[in-house]
Amino acid sequence: MLAIEVADAKKTYDNKIVGIEKVTFNIKYGEVFGYIGPNGAGKSTTIRALMGLLRLDSGLVNIEGHDCFTDGVNARENVGYVPSELSFYNSMTVRKYLEFMMKQKGRGFERIDDLCTYFELNQNRKTGELSLGNKKKLAIVCALACSPKVLIMDEATTGLDPIMQQKFFEQIEKEKKKGTAILLSSHNLNEIQRCCDRVGIIKNGTLVAVKEIGEFKSKLMKRVTFETKYSHPEITIDGVENLKVDGNRYEFNYHGDMKALNDFIASLDIVNVSIVDVDLNEEFMRWY
């Protein structure tokens, strides 16, 4: 059985604004799926449909074999959810809020202490007094504390400092090993790529690509910069884009054969050379 199934999903707001259209993807247990797109691309619309918070015009959204709208209680029985917009009961302490949420879910409190310690979240603080980063941590702890089989996280890393992001990804790894299916949405592929098995890229409400992360990375371009001592060579190798020449300094993006590039550079009177991966996010923006 698939953990998450989205098929031909369509949602239009006010009969005119496209939220999502023809969106189709699946997520298996033990798989981390990165759902990537800039603001307004349709990520939250998809996620809100999965969470039963809006009704699709057409298509299907299932979790663990249950329709998210007509059988929402069963669909979300084992789901941990981090919404993009956070709201809590401001006067409750972190502890009370987590206990309240676990009771609502019919879960025990046994994971609360460990998770709050791990994410350095003070259980005695009122939720209304928390900083954005701490609110994010509370939402993440809440999603994890219910021992989910499916995790749906909308922009979960936004607002976390780099150390907390690292801790977050370590938890995601643990959940994945337990067999949890994980949907991680983000506008920043760099931020989440390290833990994703597959990535879906959404643009203007349409999923434009779904790829294994390895396939995605293998197609990454290199940014090549070199400087020659005297010569002004003609660039004769294939796969060069955006060539800029400034005196003896050459800079270009390269997606050709690495041996051809190395042989070419070796034939020159090089003073210095740099070959680095193009930023993943930059590459992802090429889809737009």
Binding site for ligand ADP (CB under 6 A): 13-14, 17, 19, 37, 39-45
* Burial class of residue 278 in the structure, from the number of CB atoms within 10 Å of its CB (0-12 exposed, 13-18 middle, 19+ buried): middle
Nearer Cβ to ligand ADP, position 39 or 124?
39
d(CA 236, CA 12) in angstroms, rounded, equals 49
Nearer Cβ to ligand ADP, position 93 or 158?
158
Residue nearest to ligand ADP (CB): 44
Nearer Cβ to ligand ADP, position 47 or 94?
47
Nearer Cβ to ligand ADP, position 19 or 80?
19
In the complex, the smallest distance separating the C-beta of residue 98 from ligand ADP, rounded to whole angstroms, is 26
In the complex, the smallest distance separating the C-beta of residue 19 from ligand ADP, rounded to whole angstroms, is 4
In the complex, the smallest distance separating the C-beta of residue 155 from ligand ADP, rounded to whole angstroms, is 8
In the complex, the smallest distance separating the C-beta of residue 202 from ligand ADP, rounded to whole angstroms, is 7
Token match 């390269």: residue? Answer: 254
In the complex, the smallest distance separating the C-beta of residue 85 from ligand ADP, rounded to whole angstroms, is 10
CA proximity to 278, closest of 205, 219, 211, 196: 219
Nearer Cβ to ligand ADP, position 33 or 226?
33
Beta bridge partners of 226: 250, 273
66 CB-near residues (< 8 Å, 6+ apart): 72, 74, 75
For helices 132-145 and 94-105, give the axis angle rounded to 10 degrees.
30
Beta bridge partners of 34: 184, 199
| 37, amino acid identity | G
